[in-house]
């Protein structure tokens, strides 16, 4: 493994943990210590989450941080997305025929009348937002600070960008944001991926987080993956 892209987590230990999660999700029997545990196949696609606990880090004193990274493999999970769209981009969204992706035009946004409750309700309905470049600058006037406060300010779509490729980018982007706790978690993969894909996504996610920590790996206490 290229050391520039490999985290300090034991590669064999990580591969074993991922293999067990994937086998369990298929209903296969796995070994946990000396015990054999029968897996359970769920009727939906399970997400694999990364949970990291920090040490020697005081969120009340140390600098808070936020960062995003596009993972090598996606989509991570079935995200419900909203595109604040020009007429052209609204047509592109309709052409996707994807029930998880909806478009809202400027006229529809005007009807919200900057009502805080309605904007908050819209922010909660979607995991993330994208917006046509020409609409980005109108958002504060149309919606107020609601999306920004929810941590969901839209990803811009340039006139030359493909809506489908931008949607795909958002669906494989993860975000770490340091708030008031020292335990951080984020979805990084799903059980339909293979071991190498899950591992590559975990390494990219961990390396992003470590790059933002004051003492790098010395600030990492534990790393868990779970489904």
pLDDT, tens only, 9-29: 778 888 889 989 989 888 888
CA distance 55 to 158: 41
pLDDT at 46 over 90: no
Mean of pLDDT values over 48-60: 86
pLDDT at 197 over 50: yes
CA distance 121 to 119: 5
Residue 21 sits at φ, ψ, to 5 deg, of: -60, -45
pLDDT at 4 over 70: no
pLDDT at 156 over 50: yes
Mean pLDDT check: name the lowest of 73-82, 108-117, 130-139: 73-82
3-state SS of 60-125 is CCCCCCEEEEECCCCCCCCCCEEEEECHHHHHHHHHHCCCCEEEEEHHHHHCCCCCHHHHHHHHHH
SS3 166: helix
Of the chain, the percentage scoring pLDDT greater than 90 comes to: 22
pTM listed for this prediction: 0.74
Mean of pLDDT values over 183-212: 89
pLDDT digits (tens, 9 = 90+) for 60-93: 787 777 788 888 887 777 788 999 999 999 999 9
Mean of pLDDT values over 146-175: 86
User: Which pLDDT band, with edges at 50, 70 and 90, does 181 fall under?
Assistant: confident
pLDDT at 226 over 50: yes
Q: Which two tokens stand for residue 138?
A: 């109108």
Which element (helix H / strand E) includes 214?
none
Mean of pLDDT values over 218-222: 87
Instruction: Name the H helices within the chain.
Output: 11-25, 87-96, 106-110, 116-125, 133-136, 139-143, 146-149, 163-171, 195-212
List Cβ<8 Å contacts ≥24 apart for 111-117.
112/142, 112/143, 114/142, 114/143, 114/144, 116/144, 116/146
User: Which pLDDT band, with edges at 50, 70 and 90, does 7 fall under?
Assistant: low
**Those residues with Cβ within 8 angstroms of residue 123's Cβ, 6 or more apart along the chain or in another chain:** 146, 147, 150, 152
The reported pLDDT for the residue numbered 135 is 92
Q: What is the DSSP letter of 42?
A: -
Higher pLDDT pick, 159 / 200: 200
The reported pLDDT for the residue numbered 5 is 40
Higher pLDDT pick, 60 / 158: 158
The reported pLDDT for the residue numbered 6 is 45
The reported pLDDT for the residue numbered 170 is 85
CA distance 154 to 83: 8
The reported pLDDT for the residue numbered 126 is 92
Q: How many angstroms separate the Cα of 134 from the Cα of each of 105, 109, 144?
A: 12, 14, 17
């Amino acid at each position: 493994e290229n050391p520039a892209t490999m985290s300090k987590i034991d590669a064999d230990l990580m591969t074993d943990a991922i293999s067990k999660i994937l086998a369990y999700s298929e209903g296969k029997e796995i070994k946990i210590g000396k015990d054999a545990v029968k897996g359970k196949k769920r009727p939906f696609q399970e997400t694999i989450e990364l949970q990291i606990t920090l040490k020697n880090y005081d969120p009340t004193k140390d600098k808070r941080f936020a960062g995003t990274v596009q993972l090598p493999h996606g989509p991570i999970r079935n995200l419900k997305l909203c595109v604040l769209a020009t007429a052209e981009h609204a047509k592109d969204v309709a052409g996707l025929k994807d029930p998880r992706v909806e478009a809202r035009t400027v006229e529809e946004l005007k009807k919200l009348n900057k009502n805080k409750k309605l904007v908050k309700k819209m922010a909660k309905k979607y995991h993330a937002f994208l917006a046509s470049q020409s609409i980005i600058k109108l958002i504060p006037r149309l919606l107020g600070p609601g999306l920004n406060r929810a941590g969901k300010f839209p990803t811009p779509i340039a006139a030359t960008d493909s809506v489908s490729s931008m949607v795909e980018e958002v669906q494989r982007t993860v975000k770490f944001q340091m708030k008031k706790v020292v335990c951080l978690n984020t979805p990084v993969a799903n059980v339909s991926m293979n071991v190498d894909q899950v591992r590559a996504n975990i390494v990219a996610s961990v390396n992003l987080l470590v790059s933002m920590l004051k003492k790098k790996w010395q600030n990492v206490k534990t790393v868990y993956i779970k489904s």
